[in-house]
Structure 1
Amino acid sequence: MLANSHILIVEDDPVASTTLSAYISKEGYRVSTAPDGETMRELFAKGDVDLILLDISLPDEDGFSLLREVRRQSEVGVIMVTGKAEDVDRIVALEMGADDYVVKPFNMRELFARTKNLLRRTQLAHVVRKDEAVKRFSGWTLNIPRRTLMSPTGDDVRLTMFEFELLAALCQNAGRVMTRDSLMDHVSGRDRAANDRTIDVLVGRLRRKLEATPADPRIIVTVQGVGYVLAGEG
């Protein structure tokens, strides 16, 4: 199933693009390449892209603006690729909806492993699991089998894959404090660095969607020094 996936590489360096494309194609995946934002739009508009490897620095526009554009219309998996190692770029990418972030020069095998992991999670997101239920909290409804979120006014609210997984973990443990480490296990399935702020960034994104006043959260509550708890069940 994974080997039939379509991966779009958005990279203006022809050597890097060709090398990465050849490596991924050799593993049996279908690969398309785009040297700029305009070509990326044309390829993405065909509707069959499963994952995007998106360089931040492109000749016509930066990857952040393209990520923002993609997230307005799709929850396709996105891994940001950049030559910058600053934490602020990684945090901004996550806040804008990226699923992962790698820094050049990267290990090709590691990047491919991250790509497979994200594809696996993206495809599993479409599988209905009969043993899971609909969760309700503070007027909101999270349908776990269908992976949908409905607001108290009946509007559908779009969630990224990792936002959904984090909210589902909190809902399934409503009223119980969950540490960042345990939430990271639910969200990414891989070890985190000691300074990794992924969970805090995702919580911030969820609060902006769920809370009437994100700066004064009443649904996803911070427990200082421990983690987070969903406090609005029912």
Structure 2
Amino acid sequence: MNTIYDAKILIVDDNADLLALLCEQLRGAGYGKIRTAQSCGGARAAFAAGQPELMILDINLPDGDGFSLFRALRAKADVPALFLSARDADADRLFGLGLGADDYLTKPFLMQELLLRVQHILQRAYRAELSAAKPTVLQLGPRSVDLNDAVVSLPDGKTLALTATELALLRKLAENRGHIVTYDAICDAVWGADYYGYENSLGVHIRHLREKLETEPGAPRFLRTVRGIGYKLTKEGEH
């Protein structure tokens, strides 16, 4: 797995409409390897067909419950899991977490919150694997960036130094190159969980970064804005 978006995700929920919405939102965020099931039996078959890197499990299923399903699947492989439930009792949440689940989300929930929790689970569970796959040199048209030395090399041989904040921004975008990275995810990566107050300065840092990365900063070719969502570092040849 080179990025979290390469992760194979298994979603189990008996609500067909919610299942379709979850798939749509996850695929829209860049996750392309998704299997679904609407029962415990279907989940076991999907798991056997290809071990996922993350399970999103409803608790109330027609032929059993998510807790028992989780125990059965975790006996086969140590796969991280996020529980979804309409039951918000603390006892259920604590029981699920006590079984070894990574997170628990109560219905109804905001899709943006689910996407953030999925992102955090994958980053935490596969930190070592993702770190090994991180790029060290980034090619952006005629310019190249050494992410270890925080230096941008220009075609004429000159170099530009990146600030610590610019480097952190670029690392986050480079790790997810070709995919949208939300404003919240970028701020969290750069300033940590307590990033509130820094959101307004994000655009300023992005502008400065474009001045160093782009031949025409006013018409960026690589560091694109996805209005209302976040930013995306495009791949060579992508428009």
TM-score, normalised via structure 2 length: 0.52
* Corresponding pairs, count: 132
Deviation at 1:190, TM superposition (A): 6.4
SS in 2 for 1:21: helix
Deviation at 1:127, TM superposition (A): 6.6
Change (3 A) 1:102 1:46: same
Moved over 3 A (4+): 125-129
Structure 1 unmatched runs, 5+: 130-188, 192-234
Deviation at 1:46, TM superposition (A): 2.6
TM-score, normalised via structure 1 length: 0.53
Q: Give the aligned partner of residue 44 of structure 2.
A: 41
Is contact 2:9-2:56 (8 Å) kept? yes
Q: Give the aligned partner of residue 161 of structure 2.
A: none
SS in 2 for 1:75: coil
Give, in whole Å, the separation in 2 of the partners of 1:190 and 1:110: 14
SS in 1 for 2:64: coil
Q: Give the aligned partner of residue 68 of structure 1.
A: 71
Q: Give the aligned partner of residue 19 of structure 2.
A: 17
Give, in whole Å, the separation in 1 of the partners of 2:11 and 2:113: 16
Is contact 1:71-1:97 (8 Å) kept? no
Match of 1:98 among 97, 101, 119: 101
Deviation at 1:128, TM superposition (A): 8.6
The superposition leaves residues 103-138 of structure 1 with CA deviations (integer Å, 9 ceiling, x where unpaired) of: 000110001100011011121144799xxxxxxxxx
Q: Give the aligned partner of residue 54 of structure 2.
A: 51
SS in 2 for 1:106: coil
Is contact 2:123-2:130 (8 Å) kept? no
Q: Which structure has the greater CA radius of gyration?
A: 2
Report whether the alignment pairs 1:115 with 2:118: yes
Change (3 A) 1:63 1:103: same
SS in 1 for 2:60: coil
The superposition leaves residues 191-216 of structure 1 with CA deviations (integer Å, 9 ceiling, x where unpaired) of: 9xxxxxxxxxxxxxxxxxxxxxxxxx
Structure 2 unmatched runs, 5+: 133-191, 195-239
Q: Give the aligned partner of residue 83 of structure 1.
A: 86
Give, in whole Å, the separation in 1 of the partners of 2:119 and 2:130: 17
Give, in whole Å, the separation in 2 of the partners of 1:50 and 1:58: 21
The superposition leaves residues 37-79 of structure 1 with CA deviations (integer Å, 9 ceiling, x where unpaired) of: 1111111113331101000000000001001112212211100
Give, in whole Å, the separation in 2 of the partners of 1:92 and 1:119: 22
Is contact 1:67-1:97 (8 Å) kept? no
Give, in whole Å, the separation in 1 of the partners of 2:23 and 2:115: 11
Report whether the alignment pairs 1:26 with 2:28: yes
Give, in whole Å, the separation in 1 of the partners of 2:116 and 2:6: 16
Q: Give the aligned partner of residue 8 of structure 1.
A: 10
SS in 2 for 1:73: coil
Q: How does 1:74-223 map to 2 (within 5 A)?
A: 74-126=77-129
The alignment's C-alpha RMSD in Å is 1.9
Percent identity between the two aligned chains: 38
SS in 2 for 1:49: coil
Deviation at 1:28, TM superposition (A): 1.7
